[in-house]
Structure 1
Amino acid sequence: MEILRRSIAAQPAAPQWVLVVAAILAALTVLSDRLWPISRHVITIAHEGGHALAAVATGRRLAGVRLHSDTSGVTVSSGRPTGAGVVVTVAAGYTTPSLLGLGAAGLLATGRTSLLLQLCVALLLAMLVVIRNGFGALSVLGSTAGILAVSWFAPQTVRAGFAAYIACFLLLGAIRPVIEVQRGRRRRRAGDSDPDQLARLTGLPPTLWVGFFGLVNLGALAGGLATLFG
């Protein structure tokens, strides 16, 4: 109980310079054509986790999640082929990373760094339960091990900076896949993308769904940065 109380209790807020450095490093990670193909796996985990959570929340039967080495992923669920449940499930993917980043920024702003890192571990372990391929399991376990290592062995300032990096990376990293999926659609290589699936389910144009994802992610980015630096 004492450990739980300490993890939930607020700690001193991270110094402003730590937040600035974390945000810059997160931006460089997202913009780098060398780092992005590796770091994008984290966004894919959040993306597919969003699909899985939405499927369960809307009463669909979740069959499992697969994560691939090319940073793609697939979440399989069964239920009604049409209706609000499947629309929410498909739409959840591109918005989940930014919403997680917004929630992380809120926890950081209240000084709950330890709680944020523990929640990240809990979500990753929950994701591990529904993973159905070896690379996906390794990807989730590697992310979990990294967070645990920082949580257990790093000093407070480093933990705060790492937590801020996670929040900023999720906020910024959620935007680039939306741009990439639209580029893929223009090249006629993304016929099975989430926006195209949503277009078939709702009758609304795929570009409208791409715009919706972009607006949600930009709104979360603005809110998250205002929370961290305001």
Structure 2
Amino acid sequence: MPGFVETFLNADVFVRIFPMLLRGVGNTILLALTTIILGGLAGVLICLARLYGPRPVRMLAVLHVDMFRALPILVVLVLIYYALPFVGIRLNAFTSATLALGLVFSAFTAEVFRAGIQSIPAGQAEAAKALGMPFWAVIYKIILPQAFRVAIPPHTSNSVAIAKDTSLASVVAMPDLLKQATDAQALTANPTPLIAAAVMYLIVLWPLVRLVSYLEDRFRTVGR
């Protein structure tokens, strides 16, 4: 009967499947960065639309935030990848995963930045307008810089969470780290690839987790 090390930490198996896992890490990082950048930008725009847009735009922004904060990412991903082809829209696995993760991430980003903007005293914007500053200049030069300071710690935490959720992309056969690990496990009939994938996730995400703690402490100190 194989021992623990031979079963879960098999060096020969690890050497064989390491190139597969390395490709998976690259795909996971690319998916996470694309999601965080595009979803973050969309979230800020949705936040501004919700706070400052005309009423119909505000209602659409609220609907977007509420819907995608309530729906599980897996459900959104399955709908995009498997349901859209029935209406003539076919997206590859990477695009589908980016769109699903980005939609959910944008909803949480919008709420984080809304809280940041609403924490700023209204008198600052009113004073800027009284001095003749255009609306978008007030937003860009006065409101957003202060809102970023408040929103960065929770936004970074959400970014770490969405980076972990990239593992759901394996459901639509995207060759991310988890998909490569499960394929390697099937090829080798050994769970070592899954253990190796877990270690790789830890190596990639642990610095980001520490970054969240650092930012929380830093901006808490600045707030005082």
How would you bin the TM-score normalised by the shorter chain? 0.3 to 0.5
Higher strand share: 1
Higher helix share: 2
Higher alpha-carbon Rg: 2
